[in-house]
């Protein structure tokens, strides 16, 4: 589960990770008060106004309505309301949002941490994530702060430092020192970085996170180490033991169809294609999307109805797929194990009748338990539904309806 | 021969008296699997489905000589159940449970690392050796005893492959559902290796999906060690990056864990890669030079 920057920073702060302080606001009217409070707390005279959406690239991204960037600097308290107004309520388009962009409902007004001083401020990259192959967590760091880490990894892999954490003993001080020295830090800044890494790892473990990305981590001109941005991804399987974190979910950041599917116990991911699909099982669902592509179409969605496919879930699935205007055909692919195909077939027929007008061709492929009985129900229903037993027949039928 | 489970396996069900455990234990018994009992803490001494219920796995090992355990315990208690089985001396642990937190699995994997035990799963359909033992939730009737070993991260997609193999007249030696989570006990490479070393297996089907690097590692191993043909498929050629496709582990994080990249590496390593999941069975028959029976 993704959360906002301001929420992520709140979590970090609770575990003693030093952060760039800020106040979140939902309207421009509250901006001045928020900035004043922040100025009193931190002494900052400049303010960074940051759009809060679940996507990266905000700094370079543009708010469509006003042409403002998603992260801007206000060099006085007076400038803050205008800057906030140009972002809040607008649609921010970044390289991660897609061309439709994301609506900005909240902005974070943050202190300026790049103030001049004894040394130059320096940005770093730091993340904690799961190394699937090794079965343990890994800390990744780089001197190339503020950059896209995938680009750094591709162009200059030697600039990425990795420390794997032994699950038996946890993070050790020498590992944190190794990272700090490898980043070229010394003296107070080195010690601050060690403290920062320890607090960060503690936060990661305690919250059952699956990814922390702090980009950039800043060494200030007075040798403090701060998280200037924070991306936190929580393990959804562990939310049952973190009720407080589960509440951080912001459904306005999710596709409304995906939210609706979730309420019906369906696992749905909206895509851009023209052939909808409904499948039991995630692997078979992905394979069905691939079949659609090989048949000359493009999948309009991923939809796993799970192990309990019945009339209700099939109908809910239909309704969700049909809300997508791009859908020109629907392929239902069920491999019956515990799920009986005749029941799914009855569900299809029932859903079809309940929904009424369905103007796209439907191909139903049923295999496994009671597949033939299922096919018979479909054929005898008199509905405009084609049935198939073998996967390659289903593929051919998709090809036929698209041509 | 077969791998992991056979007619002599003495199987217990952890989470025996729960609804999932009961339903699937019944199905396993009906298939002819040698289920010797189950474990539900606090219900020891009772009889369930005509079999003894034990309080601890240790008792099941001592009294019923159990050597394989299949776990249906809910996610919050699953890690504990796996470690209990390993501590009691169970040799093969098959974890069906979906939704175990990753942190728990990191701990479990570490705990199992210095013990003589093999864990399959979690979030998997289980393992079946046709006509001998069905240890999991797969529909038994689609299988037919034969010589093709199947390794897969998915449930229903495995059934699809099984069905195709049965329909081309080959049948299966053992089918191993390794599971769709980011951290699993038996990797693609581990499972392929088991089947490569099994004298009854003539060909191996390896079904992967987007996310992680397991298929690439298995392919490298195949390149150096294969003594029998391997047919491979990767699901998710059309999946967008950064989105989780149902399975917790099915997410494209970078350029190396796309279906395209994995399929390329598999081809380079001599795996017979099929583009369409509809071609798995026929490709295996063709590679083995067998005549396709019906279709």
Digit-coded pLDDT (tens) for B88-107 = 999 999 999 999 999 999 99
Helix (H) or strand (E) holding A195: helix A187-206
Contact check, Cβ <8 Å, A281/B154: yes
* Closest approach of A265 to chain B, Cα-based (Å): 12
List, by residue number, the catalytic residues of A.
125, 213
Taking residues A347-367, report their average pLDDT: 87
Strands A329-336 and A275-279: parallel
Same domain for A356 and A269? yes
Helical ranges in A295-366 per DSSP H: 311-322, 341-355
Same domain for A131 and A104? no
Instruction: Look at residues A195, A228, A246 and tell me which one is the last residue of a structural domain.
Output: A246
* Closest approach of A304 to chain B, Cα-based (Å): 7
**Lowest mean per-residue pLDDT among A257-261, A384-388, B27-31:** A384-388
Whether residue A277 is contained in a domain is answered as yes
* Closest approach of A238 to chain B, Cα-based (Å): 5
Same domain for A58 and A91? yes
Mutate to test the interface with A, among B114, B128, B180, B238 (most CBs of A within 10 A): B238
Same domain for A324 and A280? yes
Q: Which residue has the higher pLDDT, A202 or B1?
A: A202
Same domain for A228 and A129? yes
Angle value at C-alpha B236, between B232 and B239, nearest 5 degrees: 160
The CATH number of the domain holding residue A388 is: 3.40.50.261
d(Cα A144, Cα A161) in Å, to the nearest integer? 11
Whether residue A80 is contained in a domain is answered as yes
Same domain for A193 and A167? yes
Whether residue A2 is contained in a domain is answered as no
Instruction: Look at residues A51, A81, A111 and tell me which one is the last residue of a structural domain.
Output: A111
- The closest CB to that of B103, out of A150, A238, A287, belongs to A238
Structure tokens at B176: 């191993």
Burial class (CB in 10 A: 0-12, 13-18, 19+), B45: exposed
Res. A370 pLDDT band, cuts 50 70 90: confident
Supply the pLDDT for residue B295: 46
Supply the pLDDT for residue A314: 87
Whether residue A6 is contained in a domain is answered as no
Helical ranges in chain B per DSSP H: 19-31, 57-64, 75-87, 102-112, 156-167, 188-196, 214-225, 259-268, 280-287
Whether residue A4 is contained in a domain is answered as no
Helix (H) or strand (E) holding A128: strand A122-131
Same domain for A126 and A104? no
d(Cα A42, Cα A117) in Å, to the nearest integer? 16
Supply the pLDDT for residue A371: 87
Q: In this predicted model, what pLDDT tens digit does every residue of A293-344 receive, in sequence order? A: 999 999 999 999 987 777 788 889 989 999 999 999 999 999 988 788 888 8
B251 to each of A134, A237, B29, B95, B117, how far by Cα in Å?
A: 17, 15, 36, 22, 29
The annotation status of A337 as a binding-site residue, yes or no, is yes
Contact check, Cβ <8 Å, B156/A283: yes
Whether residue A15 is contained in a domain is answered as no
Whether residue A14 is contained in a domain is answered as no
Could you tell me if A136 lies within 8 Å of chain B, comparing CB atoms? yes
Supply the pLDDT for residue B74: 96
Supply the pLDDT for residue B294: 53
Supply the pLDDT for residue B293: 62
Domain that holds residue A29: 21-111
Which residues are bridge partners to B93 per DSSP?
Answer: B69, B119
| Chain centroid offset of residue A169 CA | 31
Considering only CB atoms, which chain A residues are within 8 Å of B279? 392
Supply the pLDDT for residue B291: 74
Reported in sequence order, the residue ranges of A251-392 that DSSP labels E, i.e. its strands, are 267-270, 275-279, 301-304, 329-336, 362-368, 385-388
- Name A219's Cβ contacts closer than 8 Å, sequence gap at least 6: A119, A121, A122, A123, A124, A185, A189, A192, A193, A225
Same domain for A398 and A260? yes
The CATH number of the domain holding residue A161 is: 3.30.470.20
Mutate to test the interface with B, among A166, A234, A282, A302 (most CBs of B within 10 A): A282
The annotation status of A270 as a binding-site residue, yes or no, is no
Mean pLDDT over the full length of chain A: 93
Which among B119, B263, B88, B272 has a CA at the least distance from the CA of B181? Answer: B119
Residue numbers of chain B with a pLDDT score lower than 50: 295
Q: Are B245 and B210 in contact (CB under 8 A)?
A: yes
Number of folded domains in chain A? 3
Contact check, Cβ <8 Å, B139/A369: yes
Same domain for A394 and A262? yes
Whether residue A177 is contained in a domain is answered as yes
Q: Are A317 and B116 in contact (CB under 8 A)?
A: no
Supply the pLDDT for residue B1: 64
Instruction: Look at residues A211, A246, A281 and tell me which one is the last residue of a structural domain.
Output: A246
Mutate to test the interface with A, among B233, B260, B278 (most CBs of A within 10 A): B278
Phi, psi of B106 (to 5 degrees): -60, -45
Same domain for A263 and A241? no
Same domain for A242 and A260? no
Could you tell me if A278 lies within 8 Å of chain B, comparing CB atoms? no
Q: In this predicted model, what pLDDT tens digit does every residue of A10-67 receive, in sequence order? A: 999 999 999 999 999 999 999 999 999 999 999 999 999 999 999 999 999 999 999 9
Same domain for A145 and A100? no
């Amino acid at each position: 589960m993704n959360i906002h920057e301001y929420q992520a920073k709140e979590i970090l702060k609770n575990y003693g990770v030093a952060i760039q302080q800020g106040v979140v606001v939902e309207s421009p009217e509250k901006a001045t008060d928020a900035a004043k409070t922040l100025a009193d707390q931190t002494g900052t005279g400049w303010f960074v106004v940051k759009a809060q959406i679940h996507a990266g690239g905000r700094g370079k991204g543009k708010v469509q309505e006003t042409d403002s960037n998603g992260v801007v600097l206000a060099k006085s308290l007076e400038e803050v309301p205008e800057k906030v107004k140009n972002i809040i309520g607008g649609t921010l388009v970044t390289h991660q949002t897609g061309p439709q962009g994301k609506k900005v409902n909240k902005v974070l007004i943050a202190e300026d941490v790049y103030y001049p001083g004894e040394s130059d401020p320096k940005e770093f990259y730091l993340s904690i994530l799961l190394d699937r192959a090794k079965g343990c967590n890994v800390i990744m760091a780089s001197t190339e702060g503020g950059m896209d880490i995938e680009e750094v990894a591709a162009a200059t892999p030697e600039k990425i430092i990795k420390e794997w954490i032994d699950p038996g003993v946890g993070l050790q001080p020498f590992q944190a020192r190794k990272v700090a020295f490898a980043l070229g830090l010394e003296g107070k800044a080195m010690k601050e970085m060690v403290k920062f890494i320890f607090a960060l790892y503690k936060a990661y473990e305690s919250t059952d996170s699956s990814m922390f990305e702090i980009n950039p981590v800043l060494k200030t001109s007075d040798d403090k180490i701060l998280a200037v941005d924070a991306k936190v991804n929580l393990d959804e399987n562990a939310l049952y033991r973190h009720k407080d974190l589960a509440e951080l979910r912001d459904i306005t950041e999710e596709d409304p169809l995906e939210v609706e599917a979730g309420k019906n116990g369906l696992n749905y991911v909206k895509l851009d294609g023209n052939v909808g699909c409904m499948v039991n099982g995630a692997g078979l669902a992905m394979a069905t999307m691939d079949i659609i592509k090989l048949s000359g179409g493009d999948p309009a969605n991923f939809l796993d109805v799970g192990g309990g496919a019945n009339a209700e879930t099939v109908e809910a699935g239909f309704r969700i797929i049909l809300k997508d205007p791009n859908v020109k055909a629907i392929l239902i692919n069920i491999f019956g194990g515990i799920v009986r195909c005749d029941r799914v077939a009855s569900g299809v027929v029932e859903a079809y009748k309940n929904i009424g007008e369905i103007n796209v061709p439907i191909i139903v492929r049923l295999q496994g338990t009671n597949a033939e009985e299922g096919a018979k129900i479909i054929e005898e229903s008199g509905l405009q539904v084609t049935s198939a037993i073998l996967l390659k027949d289903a593929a051919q039928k998709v090809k036929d309806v698209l041509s | 021969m077969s791998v992991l489970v056979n007619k002599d396996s003495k199987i217990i069900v952890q989470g025996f008296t729960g609804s999932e455990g009961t339903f699937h234990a019944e199905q396993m018994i009906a298939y002819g699997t040698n289920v010797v009992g189950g474990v539900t803490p606090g219900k020891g001494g009772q009889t369930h489905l005509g079999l003894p219920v034990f309080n601890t796995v240790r008792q099941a090992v001592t009294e019923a000589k159990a050597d394989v355990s299949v776990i249906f315990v809910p996610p919050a208690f699953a890690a504990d159940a796996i470690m209990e089985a390993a501590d009691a001396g169970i040799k093969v642990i098959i974890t069906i449970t979906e939704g175990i937190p990753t942190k728990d699995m990191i701990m479990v994997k570490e705990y199992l690392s210095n013990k003589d035990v093999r864990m399959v799963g979690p979030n998997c359909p289980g393992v079946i050796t046709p006509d001998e033992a069905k240890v999991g939730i797969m529909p038994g009737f689609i299988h037919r005893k034969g010589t093709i070993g199947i390794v897969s991260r998915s449930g229903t997609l495995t059934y699809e492959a099984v069905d195709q193999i049965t329909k081309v007249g080959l049948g299966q030696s053992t089918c191993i559902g390794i599971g769709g989570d980011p951290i699993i006990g038996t990797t693609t490479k581990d499972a392929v290796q088991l089947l490569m070393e099994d004298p009854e297996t003539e060909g191996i089907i390896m079904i992967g999906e987007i996310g992680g690097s397991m298929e690439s590692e298995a392919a490298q191993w195949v390149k150096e060690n294969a003594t029998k043909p391997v047919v491979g498929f990767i699901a998710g050629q059309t999946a967008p990056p950064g989105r989780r496709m149902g399975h917790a582990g099915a997410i494209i994080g970078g350029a190396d864990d796309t279906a395209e990249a994995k399929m390329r590496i598999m081809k380079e390593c001599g795996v017979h890669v099929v583009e369409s999941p509809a071609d798995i069975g026929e490709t295996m028959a063709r590679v083995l030079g067998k005549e396709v029976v019906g279709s």
